[in-house]
A and B are shown apart, each in its own frame.
Chain A
Amino acid sequence: MPIEYSIIIGGQAGQGSRKAGLILAKVFKKLGYFVYIYDDYQSLVKGGHNFSQIRIADGPIAGRREKVDMVIALDKKTAEMHKKDLKKGGLMIFNSNKVMDQEGYGVEADKIVKDLGGIPIMANTAMIGGFAKIAGIDWSIIKGIVEKELNKGNNLEIAKAAYDSVEKVAKIEKVLNSKAPQLLMTGNEATALGAAKAGLDMYYAYPMTPASGLLHYFAEHQNDLGVLTIQLENEIAVANEAVGSAYAGKRTMIASSSGGFALFSEVISFTAMAETPVVFVNSQRMGPATGVPTYSGQSDLLFCINPGPGDFEKFVVAPSTAEETAVWSGKLLNWAWQYQTPAILLIDKELSEGTFSVSKDTFQEIKKEKELLWNKKGDYMRYRITEEGLSPLAYPGTPNAIIKASSYEHDEAGLTIETDEALITSMQEKRMRKFEEMKKVADCPEAVAVYGNKGSKTVVISWGFNAGAVKEVSEKLGLKFVQPIVMSPFPVKQMKKVLQGAEKIILVENNAMSQLGKVMAEYGIKADKTILKYSSRPFYIEELESRISKLISKTK
């Protein structure tokens, strides 16, 4: 039996429940667990209810549970709201100075902090200490983490007093022979690190949840990562400056969320015409329009595949976990430069802001791959017509080269053309030959991941963050699970290959109109059944299990 626990920790916005959850995650990591944290908060600075679900197991996980083993309530509302989320026999652990008339295990957190002369926010430290004892975690582990993570004031003293004030109730065991990765990071952080490893030079952004984590991370680490980070007046400026920097030879990435990403769209078309490489990140929220800002959805797939005017190809990649997004943000940056094209990394709120266990080896494999550069012989022409449609790059400042780029249709030298139909046709065909090369590289084995029972005739398909939970459930139910990661150019050959012999295809998506279903249909792949959820929240593991099980039993 796999070992697995789910714990909810919650409080009022501003009470620091997220930070406390992260510290607990480090405790569990030390005990040898894989960790996934789901963060839930509203678009409110103070007064809203925030909570994190920390899910830990002795194997990889990425999805949340409906019923949890423990609830840690920093305030009354958390206890009231999440009582129903407890499994039968689950533990309610609460700050007994804030929550009265509650069954379970109280920690006199406020009193302990007051007695030891701490400040109110340190009640979190007391709750961590109290929880650890109740959950049967050794003091030595808590001590090490509090010393490292909460090294200000008398946090250690507070944690110890709380630890000693309660009795052991349960026992969260250490995982023996743990294979759990050593790093903990959000998908936004993994995206930043993956791109940095592949040679990212510049990052521009205008703030927008849930993409802002990228901006904060780059701004904090710009020197260590060597990524110059700049916030600008709006997404339109962001996108256009990115094109300018790429023209000058700097690897550039920009990010926003749904509506903000929509403001990039004119520039995506521009980069296709100018053949200027830029990586665009879209961290989806639930749309349309402003939508549900701090919650998730998968409703931008079709928009990302068709993001602007004109006939052009682009890369769109939708990873599922922090490890995947690290690898693919690096790969996408390399592809953008190798094919001089717009490239879109499609993630969502859960992947952006959720916290995952990540292996250090993930980053060893990411490398900067070279772009096609001018050999400095003869006259330079930015858009030289070649067999594969790829014209060598040179950057302004290069002696003996005049680099003319344009958003207009242009000749090989980059000059505007309007009257010469034959030339307009051949320039479009030059780009089309490049698109064929892009299709080849996109239809690679890594473009489609396959898990679970490979012999199963029932195949479940899902994509993006969803894939983590769907994979887990498919494996449990003995089904084959297929996850397309590259969405454009669509890896038709790989998909058809892995779907060979499939008798029933179940497609799971976090949107209302089955957008991947529409994409697959274009290539003759039809889902027999779809499971959709569009409440702006991700699936629960239990919910998926029940919905998939129902569909299988009907066919039997």
Chain B
Amino acid sequence: MAFKQAITAMIESGTPKENIVIVGDIGCSSKIADYLNLNSFIGLHGRSISLAEGIKIANPELKLFAFLGDGGCLDEGISHMVHAAKRNANINVIMHNNRLFALTTGQFTAATPKGLKTRSTPEGTIEEPLNVLELLLACNASFIARGYSSKVEDLKNLILEADKHQGFSFLEVLQPCVSFYNNIDFYNERVYCGQNPDLSSKEAAMKLIKEWNYGNEGRIPLGVIYQEKRSSFETETMAGFDKKNSFEKCLQTHL
């Protein structure tokens, strides 16, 4: 719903509808591609960040929104997230974090709280969850934000902020899974609007991020957590690409 509102706002403010592309992963969140009348490409599990990067570099005019779950993003495809952040690919990654694999009927992911009983961990998971925002900060992600599915208006604004950012934008959306892990009450008690006094300060961002380590302790800050102005991968790549089409000149080197 928040995404639909954000898209409407983008189109109203002048983005041609045909320039918006949604990339779906595999998982509940990716079904959005089937629900919206927009350009879309549903790829393979864990690979939608790469798919989105490939579309963006081929046509930098397009706006890319890649939708993944925590499983696709942090388990199957984590290397792509790390590298997209490092190279500052100008795409928007929206990770719906429901803290487990839901479409496959409930197994643990890298975001599952320690001790949670799932179908693959009947005695409870033994691994600590990964703090994805902390990892992204280390990867030099240039835009890091967290939203919550119950706060639609805020979420819409975060999507618009992510879109405006020139570079790799990562938006985590806390999204309770009503079927397999309903933690609505837990989130409602803990979320608050986190204010980073200096968005460009990694130290301040880290302080906010560390308030919640995906366990049972602490408050959960929402909002833009970190933002850095840095030239994007497309800008740098295209600056070095000066298409001359001098095939003959190339052949000459083989004489």
Contact = CB atoms under 8 A, between A and B. Distances in A.
Interface of A: 182-185, 189, 193, 196-197, 201-202, 204, 221-226, 228, 230, 232-234, 236-237, 240-250, 252, 266-267, 270, 274, 358, 360, 363, 395-408, 414-416
B62 A244 contact: no
Contacts of A223: 241-244
B244 to A, nearest CB: 5
Nearest to B238: A228
A182 B21 CA distance: 48
A397 B40 contact: no
Q: Rank and list the top 9 A-B pairs by shortest CB-CB distance, nearest first.
A: A244-B54, A241-B54, A240-B50, A248-B58, A245-B58, A244-B55, A183-B254, A250-B58, A233-B83
Contacts of A252: 54, 58
A274 B55 CA distance: 14
Interface in B11-59: 16, 18-19, 21, 23-24, 26, 31, 33-34, 37-44, 47, 50-59
30 contacts: A183-B254, A189-B254, A193-B250, A193-B251, A196-B247, A202-B58, A223-B241, A224-B244, A226-B244, A228-B237, A228-B241, A232-B50, A233-B79, A233-B83, A237-B83, A240-B54, A241-B50, A243-B54, A244-B43, A244-B52, A245-B57, A247-B41, A247-B58, A363-B247, A397-B18, A402-B39, A403-B40, A406-B24, A407-B26, A416-B34
A358 to B, nearest CB: 7
Nearest to B60: A248
Contacts of A202: 57-58
Given A360-B251, A405-B42, 4 more contacts: A204-B54, A223-B242, A237-B79, A358-B254
B51 A241 contact: yes
Contacts of A222: 241
Nearest to A190: B254
B40 to A, nearest CB: 5
B219 to A, nearest CB: 35
B237 A401 contact: no
A183 B251 contact: yes
A201 B58 contact: yes
A241 B83 CA distance: 13
A399 B16 contact: yes
Contacts of A398: 18
Contact of A248 (B50, B55, B79, B254): B55
B255 interface: yes
A224 B59 contact: no
Given A224-B244, A396-B39, A244 B58 contact: yes
B41 A405 contact: yes
Contacts of B254: 183-185, 189, 358
Interface string B153-180: 0000000000000000000000000000
B229 interface: no
B47 A236 contact: yes
Question: Do most interface residues of chain A lie in helix, strand or loop, or is the interface mixed?
Answer: mixed
Given A244-B55, A399-B18, A237 B50 contact: yes
Contacts of B39: 396, 402-404
A363 B237 CA distance: 29
A407 B44 contact: yes
B124 to A, nearest CB: 32
A348 B26 CA distance: 35
Interface in B169-200: none
B217 interface: no
A221 B250 contact: yes
A396 B51 contact: no
B21 A396 contact: yes
A10 to B, nearest CB: 24
Contact of A406 (B42, B57, B61): B42
Nearest to A197: B247
A308 B135 CA distance: 33
Contact of A397 (B42, B61, B242): B61
Contacts of A242: 54
Given A240-B51, A399-B16, A416 B42 contact: yes
Given A237-B83, A248-B54, A225 B241 contact: no
A386 B13 CA distance: 38
Contacts of A249: 58-59
B42 A407 contact: yes
Contacts of B216: none
Given A224-B244, A416-B34, A244 B18 contact: no
A400 B39 CA distance: 11
Given A189-B254, A267-B44, A396 B19 contact: yes
Nearest to A201: B58
A247 B55 contact: yes
B104 interface: no
Contact of A241 (B16, B57, B245): B57
B57 A408 contact: no
A237 to B, nearest CB: 5
A204 B57 CA distance: 11
B51 A226 contact: no
B52 A396 contact: no
A225 B26 CA distance: 37
B190 to A, nearest CB: 35
B255 A182 contact: yes
B246 interface: yes
A226 B55 CA distance: 18
B241 A245 contact: no
A234 B21 contact: no
B42 A401 contact: no
A84 to B, nearest CB: 34
A225 B247 contact: yes
A318 B54 CA distance: 28
A401 B37 CA distance: 10
A406 B30 CA distance: 11
Contacts of B40: 403-406, 414
Contact of A245 (B23, B37, B54, B250): B54
A244 B50 contact: yes
A193 B247 CA distance: 8
A553 to B, nearest CB: 43
A397 B62 contact: yes
B117 interface: no
